[in-house]
Structure 1
Amino acid sequence: MTKVDNSYYLSQQPRGTTGSNLGKDEFLKILMAQLQNQDPLNPMEDKEFVSQMASFSSLEQMTNMSASMDRLVDSQTISPVLQYSHLIGKEVSYNRYDKETGQVIETPTSDVTAVSQSEGKAILELSNGEKVYADAILKVSSPSSD
């Protein structure tokens, strides 16, 4: 007689939760199987069907909300404009370089009027008409009152 491998026993199998892994498609498949295999002389009651459809609707709304929240978080963490928008109205200092030598000629200060984006980098538009990359800023402070 052959011996049965102990690893095939149900008690040896890992247990998982089914609720967290089921999605809309699985829910609909279960509902359709239930409707197809119901006893024609004793069909599912209206209340049960409405309850299951409400559960499905709730699941679908939660799935859509989760996807929307994921998109919102992604858009806020990726956008350089959003990351640096708090600098609008602040006074910033930055280095101005000589184009030929690459040496610092001065360190002007100006107010940030807008933030834009180019090639994935934030560009600060200043009240003096210049545009500088956000990573070139040396100092941020409250605007001086003139």
Structure 2
Amino acid sequence: MASSISNDLYLSNLQKKERQTGSNILGKDDFMKILMTQLQNQDPSSPMEDKEFISQMATFSSLEQMTNMSSSFDKFIAQQYDNLFIQQSSLIGKNVTYLQETQDESGAVKTESKESKVKAVLFENKEAKFQLADGNVIGSNSITQVSNEDVQASK
């Protein structure tokens, strides 16, 4: 049984491919390709100095560590958003007092305090929002008080 090698794996075909991203930012793969090309095309009579090679490898190592740290930090931030959402969901069923800005007939903006029960927590654009029983949707920065008391009983 004979197996054949895919034409996509030939070096000449790999070198013909252009970057698809269109980005001007060099990543660790690009750095490694440059280093390998430099090693392949160096003059055999005067090869790259050890110090220069070690310096480039140290730069590559630093680049790889920064890339890995950036990826880990992105995962950490995403986890923090998940935690925030879970924490905010503990307000479902609670009564909140919140500030709402309204405009009167003259166009003047006034701030009034309102009360309602939290029906649901929404997460939009990495921000928690609260859907209230009175139909309003507010951000956490509008809430001034949280209680277990029934809104109707407190009036």
- TM bracket (short chain): 0.3 to 0.5
Q: Which has the larger radius of gyration?
A: 1
User: What TM-score, normalized by structure 1, do the two folds share?
Assistant: 0.47
